[in-house]
Chain A
Amino acid sequence: MIQLENLTHTYSSEQGKNVAVDNISLEIHKGEHLAILGQNGCGKSTLAKHLNALLLPTAGRVIVEGMDTKDESKLWQIRQTVGMVFQNPDNQLVATTVEEDCAFGVENLGLEPKLIRQRVDEALATVGMSEFKEKAPHLLSGGQKQRVAIAGIIAMRPQYIVFDEPTAMLDPHGRSEVIQTMQKLNKEENITIINITHFMEEAVLADRVVVMDKGKIAFMGTPKEVFRQVERLKALHLDVPVVTELAQAIGAETGIDGDILTIEELVVSLCR
């Protein structure tokens, strides 16, 4: 479990202070798929960087599996427990071949070369990139690069993976590659997923959605509970999935309820 207790983070600059995360308390449970939604500048990326001690709280605490992120002796253990995938696929690959890059994190753990080889092969197979292992990263597509980045993280065997807008720079095809991988990790490998995003279609897939606004949690709940509140979301300049909006618009005439998140659900309730 990751616990955020009254987490506050303030960036100080010459222009003054900017409270990016404002007194947030949240518990992230093992095995869940959590989506954090919010428009640009709402503090969601700052929040994400606290989960593996890349940033430390200005006030409050972050406890990862009982380890306080402020405890420097636990730093590397925390980073192994909570992996992180970033937005720009190019800027997180270190090595000149796919397999060397995948090995980077495991090499930092100081494992035996044999064990590294085994973990790298497994991780690349999990994300479906085994056949590319000798390739140079710059020859891959965005979605493939992002999958290599994910493989590099899962080779370290983390319990949590934080995705910081992993699909923001990808084309639709790359996006679905990454989303599928994310779902697979959550369902098959039982890794807790924390997906920071501003795509509603991704948030729909989560078990729980946290909506952030101006550094605070605006509201949270299951995707159905969250997306039911169309007006509230719109007030925060967030979209509702198109299908949900359509269902609500035609709800009065057709008698279907507004709790619809996917096309399949809409079809089923319309045909009833």
Chain B
Amino acid sequence: MLRDVTIGQYLPGNSLLHRLDPRSKINGVLFFMISLFVINNMVGYWLMVISAVGMILLSRIPLKYFLKGIKPLLLIIILTVILQALMTPGEIIWQWKFLHVTKEGLIQALFMGTRLVLLVSITSLLTLTTTPIVLTEGIEKMLNPFKVIGVPAHELAMMMTIALRFIPTLIEETDKIMKAQAARGADFESGNLIKRVNALIPILVPLFLSALKRAEDLATAMEARGYHGGEGRTRLKELHFAGKDYGAFGMAVILLLAAIATRVLF
């Protein structure tokens, strides 16, 4: 059962969004987020909603995957909406004891809710259309300029790659250790919280030991294969910034400008 865990939530596909360079997508998400916080009126929100729906349609990913992304955050979203509705001062339209809902509050709540839902959807869109490994490469490339101020771009990316490579292996190992402990009578299911946490110790200790051993082996193997950091290293698959990526970049800039325009004009 543990083996079925997937990393990230990539959904294979061949839409335009799937084929975009990861850098364009990350950049697009960043611009979208900034725009989301620039807008402050109805026109602006309509602009963002329409562009988000447009992108989701373009990705050809079923809506249920986005709802799945929103679900874990539903409580926070609802709480934020209620607080906004109750706390904003203004024209009172409903009152009960000390609680009162204002017209301004309702509008603010609607805006806040939309903002959060869009935020979650658009980041889901990024991870749904991009494999973790390509995403890592994109992040590495985007961090490259910051190397001069000491950001270890290559090292971070390498660490993420290795983590992605070893998560399934370690999950398998956890499974094995749990079964071995269960075979010797360990009980992970019953008892109160403290008891259950205690039962995890005999799993974690061997797991950590083996992870450290793996790390040592891997480091030796990497060295033996001539790894000496990112300096002078080339890649099998280079990222290509194609025409569609410039297009995507242009669209992102236009979106941000439009968002600013709604704020100024309306």
Contact = CB atoms under 8 A, between A and B. Distances in A.
Contacts of A90: 169, 214
A198 B217 CA distance: 20
Given A76-B228, A104-B227, A92 B217 contact: yes
A103 interface: yes
A116 B234 CA distance: 9
A105 B225 contact: yes
Contact of A138 (B172, B232, B233, B234): B172
Contacts of A149: 221
A113 B238 contact: yes
B222 A94 contact: yes
B79 interface: no
Contacts of B232: 110
Nearest to A76: B226
Contacts of A105: 225-226
Contact of A88 (B161, B217, B222): B217
Given A83-B224, A105-B225, A107-B234, A91 B165 contact: no
B142 to A, nearest CB: 20
Band of interface residues on B: 20 to 34
B224 A84 contact: yes
Contacts of A71: none
Interface residues of A, number: 40
A110 B164 CA distance: 24
Contacts of A136: 168
B217 A96 contact: no
B223 interface: yes
B225 A104 contact: yes
B54 to A, nearest CB: 32
A52 B224 CA distance: 7
Interface of B: 132-133, 161-162, 164-165, 168-169, 172, 213-214, 217-218, 220-228, 232-238
10 contacts: A83-B225, A91-B217, A92-B221, A94-B162, A94-B222, A104-B222, A108-B225, A108-B233, A113-B234, A116-B235
Closest 6 CB pairs of A and B: A91-B217, A92-B221, A103-B236, A105-B225, A108-B226, A138-B168
